[in-house]
């Protein structure tokens, strides 16, 4: 048996998962093709990640076929905000800015 924390971190730690969640959370036009244009991924990988996030309840499709964040996805960003506060407090790289978009996960970091 694997705990729910490990499973959640495993899913959300996969390449482009955080980027997609952030993109869907911040934008209204989240149709597949728009997400593909905004990402640095292939259609196949994008499709896989969207299906995983949808299957796990972080996103869903609305009647216009746009992806939207679910209440579960919104709650997840409370954890992200806490992690950002932790990073700002314990940042060991004083030259690193917390006022930029992360090049790895796509989150906009703002202290």
Which run of H or E residues covers position 100? Answer: strand 100-101
Structure confidence at residue 66 (pLDDT): 93
What is the SS3 assignment for 68? strand
The gap from C-alpha 106 to its chain's centroid, in whole angstroms, comes to 8
Strands 100-101, 108-109: pairing is antiparallel
DSSP 107: -
The pLDDT score that the predictor gives to residue 42 is 92
pTM here is 0.74
| pLDDT in the model for residue 96 | 54
pLDDT at residue 60, as a whole number: 95
Q: Which residues of the chain have pLDDT under 50?
A: 111
The reported pLDDT for the residue numbered 32 is: 94
Give the pLDDT score at 88: 76
């Amino acid at each position: 048996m694997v705990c729910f924390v490990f499973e959640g971190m495993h899913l959300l730690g996969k390449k482009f998962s955080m980027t997609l969640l952030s993109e869907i959370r911040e934008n209204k036009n989240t149709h597949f093709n728009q997400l593909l244009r905004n990402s640095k991924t292939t259609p196949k990988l994008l499709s896989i990640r969207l299906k995983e996030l949808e299957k796990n309840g972080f996103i869903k499709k609305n009647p216009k076929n746009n992806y939207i964040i679910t209440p579960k996805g919104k709650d997840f960003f409370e954890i992200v905000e806490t992690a950002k506060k932790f990073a700002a407090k314990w940042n060991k790289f004083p030259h690193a800015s917390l006022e930029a978009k992360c090049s790895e996960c796509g989150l906009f970091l703002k202290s």
